[in-house]
Amino acid sequence: MLLVGLAVLAAFEVLPLHAQPSTDSKPGKWTAVAPMPTARGGFGLAVANGKIYAIGGTDGENQLNTVEEYNPQTDRWIEKTPMPTARSGFAIATYMGKIYVIGGTVGKGYVGNNEMYDPLTNTWQTKASMPTPRADLCANVVNDRIYLIGGKKYSSVSPFYTETAINEVYNPVNDTWGTATPLPTGVQGYASTVLNGKIYIMGGSRLSSGSEGTIVTDANQVYNPQTGNWSIGAKMSSTVSYGAAAATEGFMVPKRIYCTGGFSWELTGQTQVYFPENNTWAPADPMPTPRIYLGFAIVNDVLYAIGGYDGSKWVGTNEKYIPIGYGTVPPYIQITSPENKTYTEVSLGFSVNRAVEWVGYSLDNQANVTVKKETKLPEISQGQHSLIIYANDSLGNMGASNTVFFSIDRTGPKIEIILPQNKTYDSNVIQLVFTLDENITALSYSLDGRPNVEIVGNVTLPAISNGNHRLTVYASDLLGNTASTDVYFNITPFPIVAVAAALSIVTILLAAGYIFLKHRKSEKKNQMLKQQRLSQS
């Protein structure tokens, strides 16, 4: 019966991009490498910047604040600044290159202490404590949050502790705590890791309400932080408690979860592999040294099982495991530029998750063009295009990026001037009316070559002088392409004064003619009267 246990979290990362360690052992085999200087168990194991950090724990006599750094490249250990609070059975996680050590056992009590280690400066800082003091739990990072799930907490009745289902969430950005959906079945001393954005809580133990004492489980409880929901995955191949787990990231081998060591009615070196694509478990080569309270870390998809208790003593044993299929996964290429949008010119940007021998791109399914780094692409024709980047590693694995679709547009907006038209106007006030075929960032007009006047749309142009004129409208689109359109028109007001003068002259002439005719008619009449008088006398 397992009465008391110390949990350990195997936090992990991968080496920086383009870093690839040499391996001197065959896939599917365990190899002994440099042991941890301080033999211990119940410690925390975390990875930062490609190095493994073993922190705290117990040597059976004392709880420790020891910090030792392991470099898988050189197979060497060095001592670092001790942790402020000596403790064991805590949770540990790496976020943004910094290591957070949370909770654990101090003496015979549980704490919520939260201390952050910066490997670059080799210094410690105290952060906001976990609300619920507890131990024998794990920490997992998903989407900028650290999840502290389950474990054991203080109880007022014998044996004075009990498992818990609590799920508390730490925000390392603003140093605050919150809560999330509790674990369906509370456990302590479980193994845990993250795969594809989900947290796996595997195995563990809980106290029996009867005479059974401690119950070791084979449960696989899966939490999705995105939805806040729990689900139940396939049960483990066998029950296990106080083992350790880590997940390969798919860089050098397919994504899998590896659980090793622990207690399964006896100390075990069994290694179980979980396949997420079909929710199944399968055995892998057993770890050479059966043990519990160990740490499990992964660097560039190579696994390291370190320390623990072998049934008779605390050990510093360090055994490396290269999973079957190592080196068969193609490089992963991500295109950072171009994106699925429109450009006037294009720069090629990309990242590859490990060292490669060759990189090239194919534009519009044409022959590959070799590139060595991010570069500006030669001038590409107007219109729609597609781009794929390929990379080949030293093992002959060829990887391909996703296809990016983008467009090239070097043409300015189409401007259609509706008013004024190419004709003569009799008004000195002109309406400028036009249309555009796309969104613009700048708009202006110029009359007769004068400085541009900024406008936001159709506008009235007042007080235009008589004569011939040229009006130019300018527009710039969202990409900075500029276009302009001209229209020519004339201003000639209607000749009102001249018409009035002509009408006056006509009136005068008509009047003069009327007076002249009337005078002639009067003279004729007088002559006739005069002749009549002469004839009568």
Mean residue pLDDT across the chain = 90
Which pLDDT belongs to residue 27?
76
Q: How many whole angstroms separate alpha carbon 40 and alpha carbon 47?
A: 18
pLDDT band at 537 (very low <50, low <70, confident <90, very high): low
Structure-token pair, residue 40: 């211990």
Q: What pLDDT does residue 354 have?
A: 85
8 in Cβ contact with 43 (< 8 Å): yes
- Cα gap 364→384, rounded to integer Å: 9
Mean per-residue pLDDT, 24-33: 82
Residue pair 133/111 in contact (Cβ under 8 Å)? The answer is yes
User: Residue 143 pLDDT > 70, yes or no?
Assistant: yes
CA-based max dimension of the chain: 182
Query: What is the pLDDT, as a whole number, of residue 527?
Result: 72
Residue 23 pLDDT: 46
With bands split at pLDDT 50, 70 and 90, how would you rate the model's confidence at 512? Answer: low
Per-residue pLDDT tens digits for 323-342? 999 999 999 999 999 999 99
Q: Given this model, what pLDDT does residue 265 score? A: 82
pLDDT of residue 264: 85
Give the range among 23-37, 213-227, 299-313 with minimum mean pLDDT. Answer: 23-37
Residue-wise pLDDT tens digits, 211-230: 567 899 999 999 999 999 99
Residues 6+ apart with CB under 8 A from 397: 327, 328, 329, 330, 331
Phi and psi, residue 61, nearest 5°: -110, -40
In sequence order, which residues have a C-beta less than 8 Å from that of residue 377 and are 6 or more positions away?
345, 346, 347, 348, 363
**Structure-token pair, residue 478:** 């969202």
Least reliable range by pLDDT among 5-19, 52-66, 201-215, 279-293: 5-19
Q: What is the mean pLDDT of residues 466-488?
A: 96
Q: Is the peptide bond between 338 and the residue preceding it cis, with omega within 30 degrees of 0? A: yes
Highest mean pLDDT pick, 14-23, 147-156, 201-210, 370-379: 147-156
With a cut of 60, say whether residue 3 has pLDDT above it: no
Task: State the Cα–Cα distance between residues 259 and 200, nearest whole angstrom.
Answer: 11
The pLDDT value given to residue 120: 97
pLDDT digits (tens, 9 = 90+) for 101-122: 999 999 989 999 999 999 999 9
Contact of 36 with 44, CB cutoff 8 Å: no
Q: How far is CA 70 from CA 57, 73, 77, 123, 229, in A?
A: 16, 9, 4, 17, 37
Q: Report the percent of the chain where pLDDT is more than 70.
A: 87
pLDDT attached to residue 519: 65
Choice between 182 and 208, residue whose per-residue pLDDT is larger:
182
**Cα Rg of the chain (Å, integer):** 44
Helices assigned H by DSSP within 121-248: none
Q: What is the mean pLDDT of residues 195-204?
A: 97
What 3-state class would DSSP assign to 285?
A: coil
Q: In this structure, what token pair is assigned to residue 20?
A: 């690839």
Of 507 and 389, the structure prediction assigns the larger pLDDT to 389
